């Protein structure tokens, strides 16, 4: 599966409003089923039943199960990427950007969607966690997530110019994992003593936690890099 595959699908004849509504219902159902059962256990019949459509319509709009999974991941990845890059551009227009501000631009759009977008965005977080944990989705992640991730890694690298890029990338991945943990495990946080039940209220502490970790890690990496050259 490649970026060309997704672009080819987008070039096809524009569907009717009814077809669009059916496709969204199928994709929403697939999102919930994949999130609840995982890719391997998810069945096309279950997706059809959740969507309230004939099995043939699932294949018509989604293709094979793998193709459907790609499409489900891509549709929200595109939305998130646009929101994150717009937030980044707006913040940079205000002047020099900090690590805290960078993380707010990356985390904020998803936490806001999780708060106001309903259960679909929370289901999507579980799917993103699956993609991040399974190397077989390397190509999917490269298409849907890596361009935006790379832009933010570039911005962090500019703040720590002597830190090795692998160290920057590692700190960024750790931070994304923390965001996904918040989105998928809020019930666990609540069980351990935090009664808040909305993701947005956790943004400040998530950013503070991740910024401190990245800063400490990259300062250490810069020191090691400097020592190695001396």
Q: Kindly give, in sequence order, each residue whose CB lies less than 8 Å from that of residue 117, ignoring residues fewer than 6 positions away.
A: none
Write the CATH number for 12: 1.10.357.10
Split into its structural domains, the chain has a count of 1
What mean pLDDT is predicted for residues 65-74? 96
Residue bearing the bigger pLDDT, 218 or 225? 218
Nearest to 207 by CA among 108, 72, 126: 108
Q: Is the pLDDT confidence value at 134 over 50?
A: yes
Q: Would you place residue 115 in the very low, low, confident or very high pLDDT band (cuts 50, 70, 90)?
A: confident
Mean pLDDT for 170-197 is: 86
pTM (two decimals): 0.85
Residues 52, 207: Cα–Cα separation, whole Å: 40
What is the domain range of residue 77? 3-229
Helix (H) or strand (E) holding 137: none
**pLDDT tens per residue across span 6-51:** 555 555 555 678 888 999 999 999 999 999 999 999 999 999 999 9
The CA-based angle 134-176-221, given to 5 degrees, is: 105
């Amino acid at each position: 599966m490649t970026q060309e595959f997704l672009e080819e699908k987008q070039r096809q004849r524009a569907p009717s409003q009814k077809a669009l509504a059916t496709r969204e219902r199928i994709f929403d159902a697939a999102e919930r089923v994949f999130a609840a059962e995982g890719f391997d256990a998810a069945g096309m019949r279950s997706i059809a039943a959740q969507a309230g459509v004939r099995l043939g319509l699932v294949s018509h709009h989604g293709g094979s199960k793998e193709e459907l999974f790609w499409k489900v991941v891509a549709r929200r990845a595109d939305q998130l990427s646009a929101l994150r890059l717009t937030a980044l551009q707006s913040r940079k227009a205000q002047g020099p950007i900090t690590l805290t501000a960078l993380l707010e631009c990356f985390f904020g759009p998803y936490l806001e969607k999780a708060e106001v977008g309903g259960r679909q965005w929370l289901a999507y977080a579980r799917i993103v966690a699956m993609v991040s944990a399974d190397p077989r989705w390397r190509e999917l992640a490269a298409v849907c997530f890596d361009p935006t991730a790379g832009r933010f890694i570039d911005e962090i690298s500019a703040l720590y110019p002597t830190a090795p890029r692998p160290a920057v990338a590692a700190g960024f991945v750790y931070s994304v994992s923390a965001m996904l943990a918040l989105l998928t495990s809020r019930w666990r946080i609540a069980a351990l003593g935090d009664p808040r039940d909305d993701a947005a209220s956790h943004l400040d502490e998530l950013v503070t936690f991740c910024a401190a970790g990245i800063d400490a890690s990259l300062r250490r990496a810069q020191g090691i890099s400097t020592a190695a050259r001396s």
